[in-house]
């Protein structure tokens, strides 16, 4: 399945197989994905490709400074026939959300996603509405130095299981992009919603030995010697992401290499504060944490 997924994804985004592998692991682990990179690097196309390959109904939200929480969650409208207010769900009520330029929205609007990302439900006017499953939020953001952006609060960053960067293409990849000249090949879907739910259940059954759990704990403890250490939510995310990688590799157990594969995408964005503008700082700190903890 993974080979088919990567083969199809390369028809749209060339040379980013590892990013697609990690993004698929993020979904199968039940997490949410943050893509940060310069404008024009293919972040939105990356997210759309995932939606197409997974046959997941999706909504796209273009975040702007004047976007309101009600534009995302929905509003209650008075129905004359029923003589009562009826809730009209917004684009948040979809299995896959493509949030374009999340950090261009105000902090108030960004916070509309907090409950949805953590509990897969939203509370409005005293009522709780469950979201569809699987619920997968892929958000893109431009670097903090970009004009017109707001920093994401740590509480929201911690709800993203992984943060990935696409980066500039290699010479060979960029030449292929030019040769394609904007042509988009038809994609063959790889999974559907029912298969995704089944695999997510299987991923949670992947065995993690006591030594692996101790390894995660030691990584978490080492990270907390820094100004911003990872939370218990992040520790659990490390485990789930590693289980997803093991499943994709066809194994029924988690290895230390699985932890190392996902450690930087899972920990990097959590090890920096909102006022630190260097996008590489979190990754550097995550590498330092990995280097200081003994591998079981």
For domain 1-203, give the CATH superfamily.
Answer: P-loop containing nucleotide triphosphate hydrolases (3.40.50.300)
Contact 269, 282 (CB under 8 A): yes
pLDDT tens string 62-92: 998 888 888 899 888 877 777 777 888 889 9
Q: Give me the DSSP letters along 84-99.
A: EEEEEE-TTSSSEEEE
pLDDT at 11: 85
**Residue limits of CATH 3.40.50.300 in the chain:** 1-203
Q: What share of the chain has pLDDT > 90, as a percent?
A: 44
Question: What is the band of 254 on the pLDDT scale with cuts at 50, 70, 90?
Answer: very high
Contact 32, 160 (CB under 8 A): yes
Question: What is the band of 277 on the pLDDT scale with cuts at 50, 70, 90?
Answer: low
pLDDT at 260: 97
pLDDT at 144: 67
- The CATH number assigned to the domain with range 205-296 reads 1.10.8.80
Tell me how far apart the alpha carbons of residues 136 and 52 are, in angstroms, rounded to a whole number.
13
pLDDT tens string 211-227: 999 999 999 999 999 98
Tell me how far apart the alpha carbons of residues 163 and 264 are, in angstroms, rounded to a whole number.
9
Tell me how far apart the alpha carbons of residues 113 and 156 are, in angstroms, rounded to a whole number.
8
Taking every pair of C-alpha atoms in the chain, what is the biggest distance, in angstroms? 67
Q: How many CA atoms lie within 13 A of 178 on its CB side?
A: 7
**Residue limits of CATH 1.10.8.80 in the chain:** 205-296
| pLDDT: which is higher, 37 or 181 | 37
Question: What is the band of 234 on the pLDDT scale with cuts at 50, 70, 90?
Answer: very high
> Sign of dihedral through CA atoms 151, 281, 272, 283?
positive
pLDDT at 30: 95
| pLDDT: which is higher, 286 or 58 | 286
Please state at what angle helix 210-223 crosses helix 281-292, rounded to 10 degrees: 130
pLDDT tens string 24-66: 999 999 999 999 887 788 888 888 899 889 888 788 899 988 8
In three-state secondary structure terms, 238 is helix
pLDDT exceeds 70 at position 17? yes
Tell me how far apart the alpha carbons of residues 61 and 292 are, in angstroms, rounded to a whole number.
41
Measuring CA to CA, how many Å separate 31 from each of 114, 140, 234, 238, 261? Answer: 13, 15, 11, 11, 16
Tell me how far apart the alpha carbons of residues 235 and 246 are, in angstroms, rounded to a whole number.
17
Question: What is the band of 276 on the pLDDT scale with cuts at 50, 70, 90?
Answer: low
Tell me how far apart the alpha carbons of residues 203 and 244 are, in angstroms, rounded to a whole number.
6
């Amino acid at each position: 399945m993974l080979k088919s997924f990567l083969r199809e994804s390369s028809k749209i985004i060339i040379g980013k197989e590892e990013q697609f592998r990690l993004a698929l692991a993020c979904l199968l682990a039940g997490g949410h994905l943050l893509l940060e990179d310069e404008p024009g690097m293919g972040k939105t196309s990356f997210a759309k490709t995932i939606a197409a390959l997974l046959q997941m109904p999706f909504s796209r939200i273009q975040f702007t400074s004047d976007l309101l929480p009600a534009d995302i969650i929905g509003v209650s409208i008075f129905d004359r026939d029923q003589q009562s207010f009826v809730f009209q769900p917004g684009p948040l009520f979809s299995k896959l959300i493509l949030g374009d330029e999340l950090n261009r929205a105000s902090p108030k609007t960004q916070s509309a996603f907090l409950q949805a990302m953590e509990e897969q439900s939203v509370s409005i006017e005293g009522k709780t509405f469950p979201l569809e499953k699987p619920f997968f939020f892929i958000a893109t953001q431009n670097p903090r130095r970009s004009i017109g952006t707001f920093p994401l609060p740590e509480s929201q960053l911690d709800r993203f299981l992984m943060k990935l960067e696409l980066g500039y293409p290699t010479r060979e990849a960029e030449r292929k992009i030019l040769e394609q000249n904007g042509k988009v090949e038809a994609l063959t879907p790889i999974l559907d919603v029912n298969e995704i739910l089944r695999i997510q259940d299987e991923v949670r059954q992947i065995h993690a030995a006591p030594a692996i759990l101790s390894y995660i704990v030691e990584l978490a403890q080492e990270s907390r010697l820094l100004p911003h250490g990872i939370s218990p939510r992040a520790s659990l995310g490390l485990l789930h992401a590693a289980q997803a990688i093991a499943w994709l590799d066809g194994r029924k157990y988690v290895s230390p290499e699985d932890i190392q594969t996902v450690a930087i995408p899972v920990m990097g964005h959590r090890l920096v504060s909102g006022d630190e503008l260097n996008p590489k700082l979190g990754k550097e700190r995550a590498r330092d944490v990995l280097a200081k903890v003994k591998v079981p």
